[in-house]
Amino acid sequence: MDKTDKKIVNLLQRDASQTNVELAERIGLSPSTCLRRVQRIQKSGVIDRIVAILNPRKAGRAIKAWVTVELTLHGDQHMRRFLDIATAEPAVSHAYAVTGKTDVVLMLQLRDMEEFDAVCDRLFRDQNNVARFFTMIVIRTVKEETAIEL
């Protein structure tokens, strides 16, 4: 990726809804050249996907919770089993297998605390290999960025 490709990617990360003509004008390219570059970048896999980012409050998912999970049994098959169950849960928006004392970190987008309690029953209190879990409810979002600056 050259400097122009990086400009394209940075602009698309901020607003992927802009037209190719608008993007080309901002970069200083002809629309056809800009389109070829965008297609090449997409084909290379640098752009993973193009999505709409919702406002959680307006989408009815105003409560955000980070949950760290310690598993009882370790190893690939036990980790994979728990992650399969967790990623099938609609309230789980992010799931990470991590190093250290914690095995898994989950981010939940929730309607209310009743939903949180039900998610806890399904993920952490049933027989899903969970030794313990710790929850942090987000009280204020200071920065939440999806762009990766190039």
If 0-12 CB within 10 Å is exposed, 13-18 middle and 19+ buried, where does residue 120 land? Answer: middle
> How do residues 26-41 score in pLDDT, each as one tens digit?
999 999 999 999 999 9
96 strand-pairing partners:
105
pLDDT of res. 125: 85
Class of domain 63-137: alpha beta
pLDDT at position 131 is 95
How much is the pTM? 0.86
pLDDT tens digit sequence for 75-104 = 999 999 999 999 999 999 999 999 999 999
Maximum CA extent, the chain:
59
Q: Is the pLDDT score of 149 beyond 90?
A: no
Class of 3-44 per CATH?
Answer: mainly alpha
Please, which pLDDT band fits residue 126 given cuts at 50, 70 and 90?
A: confident
The answer to whether 108 and 62 have CB atoms below 8 angstroms apart is no
DSSP 8-state code for residue 124: I
What are the sequence ranges of the domains in the chain?
3-44, 63-137
Is residue 64 helix, strand or coil?
strand
The average pLDDT across 102-108 equals: 97
Rounded Cα distance, 90 and 92, in Å: 5
Q: Which residues contact 63 (CB under 8 A, 6 or more apart)?
A: 108, 109, 110, 111, 112, 113, 116, 137, 138
**C-alpha dihedral sign at 96, 123, 57, 53:** positive
Please give the average per-residue pLDDT across 50-69, as a whole number.
Answer: 95
Identical topology for domains 3-44 and 63-137:
no
